[in-house]
């Protein structure tokens, strides 16, 4: 290769390829929600109105598609924390994010068994997602505490555990409605007690209870 020849920079994905990928992920999430993680990839392609070859170029295996759907749900939670914090009062931002977390639980419940069967297991995937989720709710809770909306002794992870607990205990599809009602109960129960002084919670506080994979 001539010394003066510059290396080509990788081309960015074309706009239509990006749209196809986003559409595949959205359709796949709906299909997994409706029919479970064993849905046919050809059916996903048909519902997305693309050729099977296009789907397999983006996601060559079912595991790759499942993992991508899971990652995009976690990314939505992380992005929502920033969006809600910028556009809503602190306690309303926390409530809106917790409602979105309920939707995330529902998606994860459907695809978790398949993720657990992935080659090598999902531990690294769950570890990364858990860190993003804890970081998001920590930020929202600290903001609400600083504003005087939430008690300073609240462990943010307890809110997540409560919502996950409802999904694990409740039987039938109506657990989502129960979890959504629980969000308001949790917010109300986390309000400051009369006479409690405002203080900001440390990001590292309450981390001694063991880590939970979200």
**Domain spans, the chain:** 14-60, 62-209
Residue 118: what pLDDT?
60
Please give the CATH architecture assigned to the domain spanning 62-209. Orthogonal Bundle (1.10)
Question: What is the pLDDT averaged over residues 117-132?
Answer: 72
By percentage, how much of the chain surpasses pLDDT 90?
36
Question: Does the pTM of the predicted model rise above 0.85?
Answer: no
d(C-alpha 41, C-alpha 97), whole Å: 31
- How many H-runs (helices) and E-runs (strands) does the chain carry? 8, 0
Q: Indicate if the alpha-carbon torsion angle 67, 72, 74, 78 is positive or negative.
A: positive
Residue 104: what pLDDT?
87
Contacts of residue 95, defined as CB under 8 A and 6 or more positions apart, other chains included, come to 183, 184, 187
CA distances from residue 147 to 10, 93, 155, 156, 200 in whole angstroms, order as listed = 46, 12, 16, 15, 9
Residue 131: what pLDDT?
87
Q: CA nearest 125: which of 140, 139, 106, 111?
A: 111
Token pair, residue 16, equals 């239509």
- Which of the four pLDDT bands, split at 50, 70 and 90, describes residue 204? very low
CATH H superfamily, domain 14-60? Homeodomain-like (1.10.10.60)
Backbone φ and ψ of 61, nearest 5°: -135, 165
CA distance between the termini of the chain: 50
CB distance 97 to 81 below 8 Å: yes
């Amino acid at each position: 290769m001539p010394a003066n020849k510059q290396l080509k920079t990788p081309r960015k994905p074309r706009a239509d390829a990006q749209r196809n990928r986003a559409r595949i992920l959205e359709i796949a999430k709906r299909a997994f929600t409706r029919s479970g993680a064993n849905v046919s990839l050809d059916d996903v392609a048909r519902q997305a109105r693309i050729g099977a070859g296009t789907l397999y170029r983006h996601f060559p295996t079912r595991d790759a598609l499942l993992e991508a759907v899971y990652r995009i749900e976690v990314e939505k939670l992380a992005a929502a924390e920033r969006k809600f914090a910028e556009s809503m009062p602190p306690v309303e931002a926390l409530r809106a994010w917790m409602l979105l977390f309920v939707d995330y639980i529902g998606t994860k419940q459907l695809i978790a068994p398949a993720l657990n069967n992935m080659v090598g297991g999902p531990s690294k995937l769950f570890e990364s997602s858990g860190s993003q989720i804890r970081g998001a709710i920590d930020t929202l809770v600290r903001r609400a505490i600083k504003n005087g909306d939430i008690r300073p002794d609240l462990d943010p992870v307890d809110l997540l555990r409560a919502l996950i607990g409802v999904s694990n205990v409740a039987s039938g599809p109506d657990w989502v409605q129960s979890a959504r009602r629980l969000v308001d109960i949790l917010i109300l129960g986390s309000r400051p007690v009369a006479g409690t002084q405002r203080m900001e919670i440390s990001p590292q506080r309450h981390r001694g209870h063991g880590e939970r994979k979200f």
